Amino acid sequence: MSATTRTLTLTDNETGKSMELPVLSGTIGPDVVDVRKVYGELGYFTYDPGYGSTGSCSSKITYIDGEEGILQYRGYPIQQLAESSNFLEVAYLILWGELPTQAEYDKFQYSISHHTLLNEQIITFFRGFRRDSHPMAVMCGVVGALSAFYHDHLDMSDPEDRRIASYRLISKMPTIAAHAYKYSQGQPFVYPKNDYGYTENLLHMTFATPCEDYKVTKVQAKALDRLFLLHADHEQNASTSTVRLAGSSGANPFACIAAGIASLWGPAHGGANEAVLTMLNEIGTKDHIPEYIKRAKDHDDPFRLMGFGHRVYKNYDPRAKIIQESCYEVLDELGMHDDPLLQLAMELERIALEDDYFISHKLYPNVDFYSGIIYRAMGFPPSMFTALFATARTVGWIAQWGEMLTDPEARIGRPRQLFTGAAERNYTPIDKR
């Protein structure tokens, strides 16, 4: 980040007081106006509900251009990474800023694959949940509880402790997600295999049983690996901002990631992938699509087209395009190329993208529109979709958390407000009200 010679002049037309606001530039993307001194000099807070126009930090991890539909991890276009890389290599890139050498990759892969087991005591922790608990409720609880088990390396000022906690989380999330599924099915937990790949292991722990191994096909493992790669990070979205805000108080990384999981669960955010399947099942057949498009445009109707629209992308979400292509591969391999749900989704997309409302509002399919169709084809129930998203996004969350802790500008997050409540008034005893 660099200060420019440019400034913006802010003048109070009542008092005539004014100040120069410094303009700061990054590598690429919009410049920012530094408003940190506005309150001190002019007595005003800035106001931006939902932070749609506010930069909360500087970051080197992910760049998004919503108008152009661009997504880059550490400068590498998502299309190139999806084509040529894999989730663990991208995880290393997001965490450390550079693509690994073979030796660095092998060491990272070994470390991640050899920390997948949970402390056996945690297994009993699962048993406190109802069998029909939503997997995201279980993920929130179990991940938050990890700090009760892994408190041997929690000095967050120590880079090695931060690395250990980060690797533990990345390693253990697939195990926790798979155990949450098994618990919901009343099936015994299946333990990780250290010689399996990251997503291959998740499929194994989810669908194998002690009575029968699960044959993970290359297409499935590759498709899930690519989905995880695409979900790994996404700049300062709601759940990542939640992790940063929680971490800014010095909270331990397990508690911060649990907070991120909670935020991601919302249907406006990562919960949308499950909501898309619910919506498609509710629409049922193509002839019902116009009715639902009409509802989505009616502001008096709370119904929204799930998997459509984005706070940043006002163009096609580049991830959605790549996921749609993976849909064909997985469904073809499973002999489901005529999957009615995929056909319905494609028709819904076609109609929506021709509709003036969606065009004028720049509403395109986002990352959640097609991902659920692949997850479902692999055998995951819709309730597991966001747990899979959380597992993949843990890499981004923990990288952003680590970046925040090492940012010299970082301080505890403490937004202000525009107070619109009651002015000062005196207490009246209850018999006088």
Considering all CA atoms of the chain, what is the largest pairwise distance in Å, rounded to the nearest integer?
A: 79
Considering only residues 305, 320, 348, 374, which one is a binding residue for ligand SDX as defined by CB under 6 A? 305
Extract long-range pairs of 77-85: CB within 8 Å, 24+ residues apart.
78/230, 78/318, 78/319, 78/322, 79/318, 79/322, 81/229, 82/226, 82/229, 82/230, 82/322, 85/229
Considering only residues 307, 318, 372, 402, which one is a binding residue for ligand SDX as defined by CB under 6 A? 307
Closest CA to 256 of 382, 411, 46, 399: 399
Q: Which residues contact 391 (CB under 8 A, 6 or more apart)?
A: 173, 174, 177, 202, 228
Size of the site for ligand SDX (CB under 6 A): 21
* Under rule CB under 6 A, residue 368 binds ligand SDX: yes
Rank residues 175 and 386 by Cβ distance to ligand SDX and give the closer one.
386
Q: Which residue is nearest to ligand SDX (CB)?
A: 309
Considering only residues 328, 361, 406, 415, which one is a binding residue for ligand SDX as defined by CB under 6 A? 361
- Residue 381 burial by CB count (10 A; 0-12/13-18/19+): exposed, middle or buried? middle
Assigned token pair, 144: 């938050």
Site mask for ligand SDX (CB under 6 A), range 215-244, x = bound: -------------------x--x-------
* Under rule CB under 6 A, residue 269 binds ligand SDX: yes
Closest CA to 225 of 206, 203, 207: 203
Count of residues in the chain: 433
Scanning 3-11, 26-34, 268-276, 342-350 for contacts with ligand SDX by CB under 6 A, the matching segment is 268-276
Scanning 88-96, 126-134, 211-219, 298-306 for contacts with ligand SDX by CB under 6 A, the matching segment is 298-306
* Residue 47 φ/ψ, nearest 5 degrees: -135, 120
Rank residues 100 and 271 by Cβ distance to ligand SDX and give the closer one.
271
| Dist. CA 56–CA 50, nearest whole Å | 11
* Under rule CB under 6 A, residue 81 binds ligand SDX: no
Q: Is 368 a catalytic residue?
A: yes
Considering only residues 311, 314, 321, 337, which one is a binding residue for ligand SDX as defined by CB under 6 A? 311
Considering only residues 201, 366, 386, 394, which one is a binding residue for ligand SDX as defined by CB under 6 A? 366
Closest CA to 135 of 35, 270, 20: 270
Positive or negative, the CA dihedral 50, 55, 60, 62 is positive
* Under rule CB under 6 A, residue 268 binds ligand SDX: yes
* Under rule CB under 6 A, residue 294 binds ligand SDX: no
Assigned token pair, 180: 């949450």
- C-beta of 145: minimal distance to ligand SDX in Å? 25
* Under rule CB under 6 A, residue 322 binds ligand SDX: no
Scanning 216-224, 245-253, 359-367, 402-410 for contacts with ligand SDX by CB under 6 A, the matching segment is 359-367
Rank residues 59 and 237 by Cβ distance to ligand SDX and give the closer one.
237
- The phi-psi region of residue 53 (left if phi > 0; otherwise alpha if psi is between -120 and 50; otherwise beta) is alpha
Q: Is 310 a catalytic residue?
A: yes
- C-beta of 365: minimal distance to ligand SDX in Å? 9
Site mask for ligand SDX (CB under 6 A), range 242-261, x = bound: --------------------
- SS3 of residue 20 by DSSP: strand
- Among 233, 310, 339, 355, the active-site one is 310
Q: What sections of 318-380 are H helices per DSSP?
A: 318-333, 340-353, 356-360, 367-378
| Dist. CA 337–CA 348, nearest whole Å | 17
Scanning 39-47, 118-126, 143-151, 306-314 for contacts with ligand SDX by CB under 6 A, the matching segment is 306-314
* Under rule CB under 6 A, residue 359 binds ligand SDX: no
* Under rule CB under 6 A, residue 21 binds ligand SDX: no
Q: Are 365 and 349 in contact (CB under 8 A)?
A: yes
- C-beta of 256: minimal distance to ligand SDX in Å? 16
- Residue 360 burial by CB count (10 A; 0-12/13-18/19+): exposed, middle or buried? exposed
| Dist. CA 188–CA 208, nearest whole Å | 10
What residues are annotated to the active site? Answer: 310, 368
Q: Contact positions toward ligand SDX, by CB under 6 A?
A: 234, 237, 268-270, 272, 296, 304-312, 361, 363, 366-368
